[in-house]
Amino acid sequence: MYQLVCELDDILPNAGVAALVGDEQVALFRVQLEGKEHVFGISNYDPFSDANVISRGIIGTMGDELVVASPVYKQHFSLQTGQCFEDETVRLKTWFVSIDGNKVYVYDKKIEVA
């Protein structure tokens, strides 16, 4: 089920925050594309540095792909799929996110199962 995590205004445009969803850390990125707001949810855990820091990375594009760069060793991860560009064996977990007006919801499977 969807869980309310924050307001859209809590996230700066084209930047990220970390949210606690269940007992997992989700990095939420607010991206403005062609005037429309999107929020992407991707694991906050950076497997290369073993630290919860993905939300502090810079977002951008590589070719057509929306990506975030890890702030530690600068690997790039797709915001949509979590796939790492520098190492094809690494893929970060992603979450469904929905925006309703100014509210941001993250879809958390565990809660639904429970």
Minimal distance, residue 112 CB to another protein, in Å: 18
User: In 3-state terms, what secondary structure has residue 61?
Assistant: strand
**94 close to 70: Cβ distance less than 8 angstroms:** no
Q: Is 50 exposed, middle or buried (0-12, 13-18, 19+ CB in 10 A)?
A: exposed
Minimal distance, residue 107 CB to another protein, in Å: 15
Looking at the DSSP assignment, which residues form a beta bridge with residue 95?
41
* Concatenated DSSP letters of 68-100: EE-TTT--EEETTT-BBSS-TT-B--EE-EEEE
Measured from the CB atom, is 71 or 90 closer to another protein? Answer: 71
Measured from the CB atom, is 65 or 91 closer to another protein? Answer: 65
| Residue ranges in 25-44 that form contacts with another protein under rule CB under 8 A | 25, 28, 31, 33
| Residue ranges in 49-78 that form contacts with another protein under rule CB under 8 A | 49-53, 56-63, 66-67, 69, 71-72, 74, 76
Q: Is 29 exposed, middle or buried (0-12, 13-18, 19+ CB in 10 A)?
A: buried
Q: Which of 1, 10, 93, 100 binds another protein (CB under 8 A)?
A: 10
Which residues would be at the binding site for another protein (CB under 8 A)?
5-6, 10-15, 17-20, 25, 28, 31, 33, 45, 49-53, 56-63, 66-67, 69, 71-72, 74, 76
